[in-house]
Amino acid sequence: MSALPKRWRTFLLSLLLLGSALAPTVRAADAPPEVLVATPHFRFHRVPGTENATRRLAASAEARYRVLCSMLDACDLDPRLLGPDAPVEVWLADDAERFAAVFPAGSAMGEWAVGVAFPPERRMVLRAHGSALFSLAETFDHELSHILLHAAVGAQPVPRWFTEGVAIWQAGEDVLDRLVPARRAALTRSLIPLEDLSRGFPAQGAPLELAYAQSALFVHWLEREYGATALPRLARAMREGAPFEQAFDRAFGAPVATLEGQWLEGMEQNSPAIGLIADPEFLWGLTALLFLWAAALRMLRRRRALAAMSEDEARTIPAWAEPDEGHTFH
Using alpha carbons only, give the angle 215, 216, 221 rounded to the nearest 5 degrees.
Answer: 100
Burial 236-273 (b: 16+ CB within 10 A, else e): bbbbeebebeebbbebbeeebeebbeebbeebeeebee
Mean pLDDT of the chain: 75
Q: What is the CATH number of domain 8-152?
A: 3.40.30
Does the pLDDT value for residue 31 go beyond 50?
Answer: no
Does the pLDDT value for residue 34 go beyond 60?
Answer: yes
Does the pLDDT value for residue 3 go beyond 80?
Answer: no
- Per-residue pLDDT at 177: 60
Q: Which residue has the higher pLDDT, 73 or 296?
A: 73
DSSP string across 177-190: HHHHHHHHHHHTT-
Does the pLDDT value for residue 75 go beyond 80?
Answer: yes
pLDDT average, residue stretch 281-285: 53
Give the residue from 255, 120, 263 showing the smallest Cα distance to 179. Answer: 263
- 124 contacts 130 by C-beta, under 8 angstroms: no
Does the pLDDT value for residue 235 go beyond 80?
Answer: yes
Give the residue from 20, 17, 16 showing the smallest Cα distance to 150. Answer: 20
- Per-residue pLDDT at 135: 81
Residue 8 CA to residue 4 CA, distance in Å, equals 7
Most confidently predicted of 51-65, 162-176, 188-202, 272-286: 51-65
- 122 contacts 42 by C-beta, under 8 angstroms: no
pLDDT average, residue stretch 133-153: 90
- Angle separating helix axes 51-71 and 136-152, nearest 10 degrees: 40
- 235 contacts 153 by C-beta, under 8 angstroms: yes
Q: Label residue 131 by pLDDT band (50, 70, 90).
A: low
Tell me if residue 159 falls in helix, strand or coil. coil
Region(s) of the chain under CATH 3.40.30: 8-152
Give the model confidence (pLDDT) of 181-194 as tens digits: 565 665 556 788 99
Give the residue from 73, 58, 24, 227 showing the smallest Cα distance to 128. Answer: 58
Phi/psi at 115 (5° precision): -165, 155
Least confident of 52-56, 238-242, 311-315: 311-315
- 256 contacts 245 by C-beta, under 8 angstroms: yes
Kindly state the DSSP code that residue 5 receives in the 8-state scheme.
Answer: P
Does the pLDDT value for residue 253 go beyond 80?
Answer: yes
- 129 contacts 122 by C-beta, under 8 angstroms: no
Does the pLDDT value for residue 47 go beyond 80?
Answer: yes
- Per-residue pLDDT at 141: 93
pLDDT average, residue stretch 190-202: 88
Does the pLDDT value for residue 205 go beyond 60?
Answer: yes
- 194 contacts 260 by C-beta, under 8 angstroms: yes
pLDDT average, residue stretch 282-287: 53
pTM equals 0.70
- Per-residue pLDDT at 109: 52
Does the pLDDT value for residue 201 go beyond 70?
Answer: yes
Least confident of 106-110, 173-177, 209-213: 106-110
Least confident of 7-21, 146-160, 166-180, 267-281: 7-21
AA identity, residue 239: R
CB-side exposure of 96: number of CA atoms within 13 Å?
8
Would you call 198 exposed, middle or buried from its count of C-beta atoms within 10 A (0-12, 13-18, 19+)? middle
- Per-residue pLDDT at 265: 85
CB-side exposure of 232: number of CA atoms within 13 Å?
13
pLDDT average, residue stretch 128-136: 72
